[in-house]
Amino acid sequence: MSQVVTVKSEDIIRHIKLSCQIPDVLQAIAIQKIIIETADQVGIKVEPQELQQAGDNLRVAKKLVKAADTIAWLTKHHLSVDEFEELVYANVLAAKLSNHLFAKQVESFFFAHQLDYVAAVTYEVVLDDEDLAWEIFYALQERETTWIEVARQFIQNPEQRRAWGYQGIRHRLDFRPEIASSIFAASSTPVILKPIVTAKKVYLIWVEEIIHPKLDEQLRAKIQQDLFSAWLNQQVYQLEILIQ
């Protein structure tokens, strides 16, 4: 027989406090209030068809195919149907406000910060010994060894070793400045860079590809969301939040 644990509202609040989540909760509440007040000031309204479409999109995103799936999800999150609609409304309102404030700024922001969105596909081997790094580099240049052999010998982490030190697609800001300057100065790819010496380690990096950004819909949405989030954080920073 399963046991029943009763959790009171004050238990939830106490847990939030003791787990040090209060600042995040207060910020989230403040952000929601800012969105509602600003949307009202600029005359943004949410139409019923927008609410319906957003609700359908959320159900698809959560894989709530059947009515029973939706009920189970609402039960799990302790939400009523009205609260679900409130959640959808808040999402639509935030999206419309973001679009109202920043949609026209995306293109100019992109061109002003275009270098930040350049990305690179890289592999790396990190060493402690600069002399060893140069020895490996020259061996690679002379084709006395291969990157795969170097990765297998010098990468300790098993998953990284199996992937030959693959770092994925990373933007300029994801790299240390001294590493980024070398990677994005590469005149052609693929290329193995000369050893890069930092304060603690020496990096051997194989640059497979430099990816120049295009302002497609995905990047446009990301920039707009970044601008909106920065604006919201600035609004919150200027507030004094009081708990009653």
Sorting pLDDT into bands at 50, 70 and 90, what band is 199?
confident
105 and 27 assigned to the same domain? yes
Q: Is residue 186 part of a domain?
A: yes
Q: Is residue 225 part of a domain?
A: yes
Cis peptide, bond prior to residue 177, ω within 30 of zero: no
Q: Is residue 175 part of a domain?
A: yes
State pLDDT tens for residues 204-233.
999 999 999 999 999 999 999 999 999 999
Q: Is residue 140 part of a domain?
A: yes
Q: Is residue 114 part of a domain?
A: no
State pLDDT tens for residues 81-126.
999 999 999 999 999 999 999 999 999 999 999 988 999 999 999 9
State pLDDT tens for residues 39-59.
999 999 999 999 999 999 999
Phi (first) and psi of residue 80, to 5 degrees: -85, 170
Q: Quick one: three-class SS letters along 3-53?
A: CCCCCCHHHHHHHHHHCCCHHHHHHHHHHHHHHHHHHHHCCCCCCHHHHHH
Say how many domains are in the chain: 2
Q: Is residue 242 part of a domain?
A: no
Sorting pLDDT into bands at 50, 70 and 90, what band is 3?
confident
133 and 96 assigned to the same domain? no
Sorting pLDDT into bands at 50, 70 and 90, what band is 169?
very high
Whole domain around residue 144: which residue ranges? 119-211
Q: Which amino acid is at 26?
A: L
CA distance 126 to 154: 8
Q: Return the pLDDT at 242.
A: 77
138 and 103 assigned to the same domain? no
Q: Is residue 3 part of a domain?
A: no
- Residue 243 above 80 pLDDT? no
The CATH number of whichever domain residue 142 belongs to comes to 3.10.50.40
90 and 155 assigned to the same domain? no
Q: Return the pLDDT at 1.
A: 56
In 3D, which of 193, 71, 65, 212 has the Cα closest to residue 137? 193
129 and 193 assigned to the same domain? yes
136 and 184 assigned to the same domain? yes
